[in-house]
Structure 1
C-alpha cells in the first residue's frame, strides 16, 4: 500500500465516524498537511464510502492487466531459466514469464541475489591435473621453507621472460636539416608508432635484480639458449651475491618447455642449482 494515501484515508475514516462532514475534514487536513493534503473531491469520495460502511483503506481491484505479483512459482521459473542459459537477457526472461522488466530485475537481484558480470581473463586453462601439480609444487616449496626458514629467502632466485616494446627517439640535434629561407619549417611528431619489441629474461632475488638478458632479434628461445642463460646467471650470482653459491641456490621458475628440456636441466644440475 502507498503509505501517504493510507494515512490520509485513516484520518478521513476516523473523523467521519466522529460525525465531521467532508468540507471540515478537508479544511483540517489542509491545515496539517498544507500542499500535500488530498483534494476535496478525494476527501468527499472516501467520506461517503466510510459512511456506507466501508472498512478497507486499500484501493478496489481495477480492470485490465493485473499488476505483477512475485510469487514463489515465478521466482523458481526465473531461476530455472537462468540456470539453463546464464547469458540470457532480462527482456527475454520477462517475455517468457509474462512479467515486467522491473519485476525480473527485482527477482534476480533481491530474491536470487545474482548479478551479471563479465568473464575474467586468465592466462591459460588449467585442468584438474594441472591444478593438482601446482598444489604439489607449492607443498614441496613449503617443505623446503620449513626446513630452513632463516636462509630460505637468501637462497631463492627466480626469473621470467617479458616482451619489451621500444622505439628510438630522435633528438633535436638529429632532426636538424638544411632548408631554404622561404621553405616551411619541418615538423616532428611527439607520438610515434612502436618500432619493434624485444624479449627480455630477468632474474632476481630478495635483494634485487641479478641479471637481465635481451634475446637477439629473430632468435628463438630454445633449451640450449636457456642453458647458456643458466651459466650467465651463475656468473652474475658469483659477482653480485658473495657466498650464495656456497649456501646453495634455489631456482624457482615455471614449467615452460625450454625450462624442462634435457639440455636446460643438465645445465641447472651443472650449475648446482636446486
Structure 2
C-alpha cells in the first residue's frame, strides 16, 4: 500500500499533537512502514508548519507560484533541508517545497555549491577521547618499534575472529565484464548473502601464517574457548621455532580477549599482551588486510557445509606468500603514521 502525502502528513500531525519530537515521529513512521515512506526533512518541515498554525494537509495552491522557483526563500529552505538531512533526495526536496527539478538542481549546485557523493562508512563515531587514544597508541608503537624497523616487530603475533559465509555475493566491481558495443549486457539473478556462516580465529606474524581455528557450531566466542583452544594451539606452534618469553600477543578489546581467564593464561605462559585502541579495525592487520583479502576471493562461491568453507578459507591462506605477511606489517606501521596525521580520525575506508 502506497501512502499519499496527505496521509503521511496526518500521521505527522498526530505525533506533533502528542508532543513527540521530530526524531521520535520519524522513528515511529520508519518502524511502522519503512525508511522510504518519509524523509527526515519532511518531518521537520511539517512540524515547523504546524507550529506556525497550519491547519490543513493539502498542498498550497500553486497558481500564484512564480515562473522561477529560484528565490531567496527557497534557497534558504533547501539549505535548511540539507542541513537537517544530508541524505535527502532531489525528489524529496521537490515534494517538500513544491518546486521543479530544474530549480532544485540550480539551487543545490549553483547557489549552495553542493554535490552528491556516496558516504564512506566508518566503524564508529569516535569521541575526542577515543581519537586521542588512537593517536597515543600509534605514537607509543612507533617509538617502541622504531617506526616498524625494529627486529622486535617479528615477536608480534596478531589475531582476530571473523564470520565467513557459505555464500557471499560478488561485489558490483567483481561482476563487471567487457562486452562488444553491440552486445546485450549480461544479466545475473540478485542473490542475498546466505544465513549459513562460520566463525574462524586466525593468527599470523610478520614472518608468516601461524594458525586458523574454527569455532564449533552453535558456540560463541568465550574466554575459555579463546584461551584453552586458540591460544594453546598458537603457542604450541610458536614453541616449535622459538621461545615464548619475548612473544607479544596483539588482538582487539573483545570481551574474550580481555577476560581474566585469558590474562591469567598469558601470564602463566610468560607471554606479554599488547594494547589496542577501541573501535580501531583500521589499525588491526586482520581487519584491514587479511579478512578482506580472503573474503574477496570467496565471493560468488557456494559452500555446502563447514568442511567446504573451511577448506576454501585455508586454501586462500595457503596461496599467500611470506612476503605478503611482511608487507602487511609494513603497512600496519604506515597506517599508524596516517592515524597521527589525521589526529585520530579514521583515515581511509577499511
In structure 1, the residue matched to 2:271 is 273
Which consecutive residues of structure 1, in runs of 5 or more, have no partner in the other structure?
1-63, 168-192
> Distance between the aligned counterparts of 1:238 and 1:209, measured in 2?
14
> Distance between the aligned counterparts of 1:102 and 1:257, measured in 2?
54
Contact 1:231/1:267, CA 8 A, preserved across alignment: no
In structure 2, the residue matched to 1:50 is none
In structure 2, the residue matched to 1:198 is 198
Q: Report the CA distance shift for 1:266/1:70 in structure 2 as closer, same or farther (over 3 A).
A: same
In structure 2, the residue matched to 1:108 is 108
Shift of 1:142: 2.3
- Mapping of residues 1-274 of structure 1, within 5 Å: 67-68=67-68, 70=70, 74-94=74-94, 99-117=99-117, 119-146=119-146, 149-166=149-166, 196-228=196-228, 229-239=230-240, 242-243=241-242, 245=244, 248-274=246-272
In structure 2, the residue matched to 1:43 is none
In structure 2, the residue matched to 1:33 is none
In structure 1, the residue matched to 2:343 is none
> Distance between the aligned counterparts of 1:125 and 1:204, measured in 2?
29
Shift of 1:66: 5.9
Q: Report the CA distance shift for 1:216/1:102 in structure 2 as closer, same or farther (over 3 A).
A: same
Shift of 1:99: 4.4
Structure number with greater CO (CA < 8 Å, separation at least 6) is 2
Shift of 1:224: 2.1
> Distance between the aligned counterparts of 1:79 and 1:104, measured in 2?
11
Greater CA drift, 81-90 or 260-269:
81-90
Which consecutive residues of structure 2, in runs of 5 or more, have no partner in the other structure?
1-63, 168-192, 273-350
> Distance between the aligned counterparts of 2:93 and 2:242, measured in 1?
68
Secondary structure at 1:245 match in 2: coil
Contact 1:156/1:249, CA 8 A, preserved across alignment: yes
What per-residue deviation string (whole Å, max 9, x for no partner) do you get for residues 45-101 of structure 1? Answer: xxxxxxxxxxxxxxxxxxx98642745554334212322343444345446656432
Shift of 1:203: 0.3
> Distance between the aligned counterparts of 2:262 and 2:160, measured in 1?
15
Q: Report the CA distance shift for 1:105/1:227 in structure 2 as closer, same or farther (over 3 A).
A: same
TM-score, length basis structure 2:
0.44
Shift of 1:261: 0.4
Greater CA drift, 66-75 or 146-155:
66-75
> Distance between the aligned counterparts of 1:232 and 1:256, measured in 2?
20
Contact 1:230/1:271, CA 8 A, preserved across alignment: no
Secondary structure at 1:210 match in 2: strand
Greater CA drift, 97-106 or 124-133:
124-133
Shift of 1:255: 0.2
In structure 1, the residue matched to 2:170 is none
For the pair shown, which has the larger CA radius of gyration, 1 or 2?
1
Shift of 1:115: 3.2
Contact 2:69/2:100, CA 8 A, preserved across alignment: no
Secondary structure at 1:137 match in 2: helix
Secondary structure at 2:157 match in 1: strand
